[in-house]
Amino acid sequence: MPRLLVAVSIAALLAGCSSLAYQKPQMAVATSFSASPGAKASVDNSNKAWWTAFRDQRLSRLIDRGLSQNLSIAQAVERINEANAGMIAVGATVLPSASGSVAGRESGGPGASSSSVTYGATASWMLDLFGQYANSRKAAEAGLDQAYLSADTARLTFLSELTNAYIDLRYYQESLALTRSSLATRQQTLELTQSLLNNGAGSQLDVLQAQSALDAASLQLPSQELGFVRSLNRLATLTAQSTGAIEKDLIKGAPQPWPRAKVNAGVPADLIRQRPDIQAAERALFAATANAGIAEAQLYPSITLSGNIQLAALAGGNTTSWGFGPTLSLPFLDGGRARANHQAALSKVNQAYLSWQSAVRGAIEETENALAAVRRDGRSIDAATKVSDSAQRQLELARKSYQEGQGQILDVLNAERSLFDAKAQLATSTRQYASNYVALNVAVGGGIGALPAGK
């Protein structure tokens, strides 16, 4: 016993200098985004419901439905339940363990028999001298935090995917409307050339050219219809319902989504505080540090206090036995396994730190790209609008000139094609602006705190 007490004292002394302290990661970032140099103040975008800037009730209903039914989000929530159960299990290891048993026995032979009942109980408790259990609990708590943050990341990803699918659906509807309008215009041109030919003022070549332009325009319909169907199916999948359940509400045309708000991205340091994936990476670093502490504790001796008591009820009377005492386990002659495990755990700490740095750098890159894209989208839309207006006037002049016999049919056909291309480019630019608006809000971690309660 005196030697054991000496060993315990030495172990306690080593415990004071063996724990691996966690340091919250730090990284120098720019004071502002290069694409938005004027922004210097910090901004909290987490509580801004950015999707409401589209002012589209159908989109809002799809988001509300998907938040409660999306399968990816449901899986993330189940991971929270798993991590919570794991933390409870780890917490139980810190407490003493005990078990009881009851055994009955009946025996006999020629002319004699006997019976006995034995009651037993055992208990044990490992002293946490080097923080093995404490670090296990820290790792479990970090895992639970990661599960919650992963659920937030899943919600943010869902918001991005659903909104973009809705933007695509409305874009294909607009493209179909433009193509059908172009077909109607080219049909009028064909009828005009046919009428002039019947009156002796036109040519068969003009009719054939007009017919060819009409047929070429109709070739775009199948791909646009397929794009609409795919977007519709994607929305159905994201909201965990059938395509038919949402088709009636979405088949009717509606204007392309247009965000009626601007985004203040704040400063790069805001991303570290607001993006759930960066916060999850920090929790992963915390867990890796705790696991390194566990591996370090396994390098040192461990002491377990254990005891047992047994009561046997026999035919001749009762007997009782008991025992209690500490057990000292000394790790040695393991071929260097414990030390190698410790080195591997330290390497995982470094890997986790590098992953956190990578997450921060990636978030800054995403935000810079989205800021630059949103700024340029405005100029693209203005230019496409001017081109469309100009093409409309050109078509009117070309048609009038051809009717009066002063122009050629090619001028009309070229004007029709230019007008269609200009309107198609305007629709594409509008779609791109809406998508980049979504990308910017997701890049800054916007909207997580604005989700409805219970979602």
The C-alpha angle with vertex 29 and arms to 352 and 291, in degrees rounded to 5, equals: 15
Q: How far is the C-alpha of 240 from the C-alpha of 248, rounded, in Å?
A: 16
pTM: 0.81
Q: How far is the C-alpha of 67 from the C-alpha of 74, rounded, in Å?
A: 9
- Determine the pLDDT at residue 15: 45
Q: How far is the C-alpha of 233 from the C-alpha of 243, rounded, in Å?
A: 6
Average pLDDT over residues 403-425: 82
Q: How far is the C-alpha of 355 from the C-alpha of 122, rounded, in Å?
A: 46
- Determine the pLDDT at residue 135: 87
Residue 328 or 445, more confident: 445
Average pLDDT over residues 18-23: 70
* Mean pLDDT estimate for the chain: 84
Q: Where are the domains of the chain?
A: 23-95+131-300+336-450
Q: For domain 23-95+131-300+336-450, give the CATH superfamily.
A: Outer membrane efflux proteins (OEP) (1.20.1600.10)
The three state secondary structure string of the chain is CHHHHHHHHHHHHHHCCCCCCCCCCCCCCCCCECCECCCCCCCCCCCCCHHHHHCCHHHHHHHHHHHHHCHHHHHHHHHHHHHHHHHHHHHHHHCCEEEEEEEEEEEEECCEEEEEEEEEEEEEEEECCCCHHHHHHHHHHHHHHHHHHHHHHHHHHHHHHHHHHHHHHHHHHHHHHHHHHHHHHHHHHHHHHHHHHHCCCCCHHHHHHHHHHHHHHHCCHHHHHHHHHHHHHHHHHHCCCCHHHHHHHHCCCCCCCCCCCCCCCCCHHHHHHHCHHHHHHHHHHHHHHHHHHHHHHCCCCEEEEEEEEEEEEECCEEEEEEEEEEEEECCCCCCCHHHHHHHHHHHHHHHHHHHHHHHHHHHHHHHHHHHHHHHHHHHHHHHHHHHHHHHHHHHHHHHHHHHCCCCCHHHHHHHHHHHHHHHHHHHHHHHHHHHHHHHHHHHCCCCHHHCCCCC
pLDDT by residue (tens digit) across 243-302? 998 998 898 878 999 998 888 999 999 999 999 999 999 999 999 999 999 898 888 887
| Residue 452's pLDDT band (cuts 50, 70, 90) | low
Closest CA to 143 of 352, 26, 286: 286
Contacts of 75 (CB under 8 A, 6+ apart): 154
Residue 2 main-chain phi, psi, to 5 deg: -60, -40
The strand pair at 302-314 and 112-127 is best described as: antiparallel
Tell me if 19 sits within 8 A of 293, measured CB to CB.
yes
- Determine the pLDDT at residue 4: 47
pLDDT at 6 over 60: no
Tell me if 417 sits within 8 A of 392, measured CB to CB.
no
Q: Which of 163-177, 196-210, 323-337, 406-420 has the highest mean pLDDT?
A: 163-177
